[in-house]
Amino acid sequence: MNALPSHPPSLMNNYQPLPISFVRGEGCRLWDAEGREYLDALAGVAVTSVGHSHPRIVEAIREQAGMLLHTSNLYRIDWQVRLAERLTTLAGMHRAFFCNSGAEANETALKLARLHAQRKGIRQPLVVVMENSFHGRTFATLSASDSPSCQAGFAPLVDGFIKVPFGHVLALQALAQSHGQRITAVLVEPVQGESGVQVAPSGYLKALRELCDAQQWLLMLDEIQTGLGRTGRWFAGQHEGVVPDVMTLAKALGNGLPIGACLAAGPAAELFGPGSHGSTFGGNPLACRVACTVLQIMEQEGLVANAQRQGEQLLEGLRAALNDHPQVLAVRGHGLMIGIDLRQPGRHLAELAAREYRLLINIARGQTIRLLPPLTLGDADREAIVERVLALLDSVR
C-alpha cells in the first residue's frame, strides 16, 4: 500500500483522506498506482452513477473541450437550454437554473423561498428543515443543516430556519399552528443520505405536499443525493407521485464534472427576474453537454430500472447475509442507497474494506456503512459487494 501522508501539508486540513489514491477507473472498478483493483460501492458519494470513464462521457468531454468551454451567461448557451428542457420534462417541473454544486443549488432554493415570503408579505420568514438533515457547507445551507459538527465554530449562522423531526407529519402540523404565518417553505431530503440513509415512512412526502398546498408553503425537495435514478425512480418524490415546487440536483448530474441545478414549478418558477441570481461558471457548455449525455445514457441503458432491481436484490442479499450478525443492528435502503447500522463505531472500516477487501464504502456518522454503488451495477458485482461486506464484518467480530 502507498505510504501516502493523510494530510499533505500543502492542503488545508479540512479532509481526512485515506492513504489510498486512484489513477484510473472503468465502470464499477478503480485502480491504484500499483495496479490493484477495487470494487467501487460508493461512486464518489453518489456521483459516478453511469460508471467511471463511460466512453460516451469521455467523448462528449473531448469533443466539447475542442469546440467551446465557456462564453458566460451573457449569451444563450444551447446545451443549457437542452438540459433544462430534458430535466424539467423528466421531473414535471417548469424552469431550471444551473450552478456548480449541491450547496449552490440549495442556496438557489433558499433564495426562492425568501422571494416567495416577500411576495406573501412575510417579514421574518422561516424555512422548515429536518433533524439530521444535510444540505451543504455554504453559510445558508450549513445553517439549514442539522449537523453540530459541521456548524462548530461558524457562528453566527444564517437565521430563519426551524427544525422538526424527519418523517413526522404531526410535528409539522403542530408547527403550522404555532408558526404557520411565518413559514415560507419546507426543505427536505426524501432519504437522508449523510445521516446514514434514513428512509422516511411511506406517504410522508405526499402528506408534506398536501400540507404545503394547504398552507401555501413551497415544498423544496433536496434530491442532490436521491435524484437521477439513485432510489429506483428518476426522482425519489416520484415514488409517491409528488412533484415539489422546487427541486435541487447535483452529484450524479455531471458524473464527476461539477454541475448543480435548481428546478422550479408553477409560481416558484417565476420568482427570479433579471439580475436576481447568477453564476459565472453555472450552466457552461461543457458541464451541460456532459449532463445531457448522462441523462441519455441513463435512458438508453435503462439505469433507473436497473437501480430499482439491483437495489432490491442488494438489500435482500445483505439482509440475508447479515441477519443476526453480531456487528449489525439494522440494514435498510431505498434503491441503490443502502445503510448498515453497526453496533459499534466503525470509522476504521472504510480503510480496512479498501485495504483488505478491495471494496470502497463510506461510514456515515461514524456508525453506518453507506453503500452507493454506480447505477450500472450488475449481478456479479452486486454479489461481490455482499460477500465482501460480510467478510469485512466477520473480520471484526
- Whole-angstrom Cα distance, residue 328 to residue 227? 28
**97, 98, 134, 235: which is the annotated catalytic residue?**
134
Q: Which residue's CB is nearer to ligand PLP, number 158 or number 384?
A: 158
Sign of the torsion formed by the C-alpha atoms of 95, 101, 104 and 105: positive
Q: Residue 8 corresponds to which cell in the numbers above?
A: 499533505
Q: Which residue's CB is nearer to ligand PLP, number 361 or number 393?
A: 361
Q: How far is the CB of 117 from ligand PLP (least distance, A)?
A: 22
Closest residue to ligand PLP, based on beta-carbon distance: 102
Q: How far is the CB of 350 from ligand PLP (least distance, A)?
A: 16
Q: Which residue's CB is nearer to ligand PLP, number 200 or number 392?
A: 200
Listing DSSP states for 136-169 in one string gives: -SSHHHHHHS--HHHHTT-PSPP--EEEE-TT-H
For 62-98, b/e burial (b = at least 16 CB within 10 A) is eebeeeeeeeeeeeebebbeebbebbbebbbbbbbbb
List of residues 6+ apart from 89 with CB closer than 8 A = none
Look at the block and give the residue holding cell 426522482. Answer: 235
**40, 166, 245, 251: which is the annotated catalytic residue?**
251
- 3-class secondary-structure state, position 89: helix
Q: Which residue's CB is nearer to ligand PLP, number 134 or number 272?
A: 134
- Whole-angstrom Cα distance, residue 218 to residue 220? 6
Q: Which residue's CB is nearer to ligand PLP, number 54 or number 251?
A: 251
Interface residues with ligand PLP (CB under 6 A)? 101-103, 106, 134-136, 189, 193-194, 222, 224-225, 250
Asked about 222 being catalytic, the answer comes back as yes
Q: How far is the CB of 48 from ligand PLP (least distance, A)?
A: 14
**32, 222, 245, 381: which is the annotated catalytic residue?**
222
List of residues 6+ apart from 134 with CB closer than 8 A = 145, 146, 147, 150, 189, 192, 193, 194, 195
**Positions marked catalytic:** 134, 222, 251
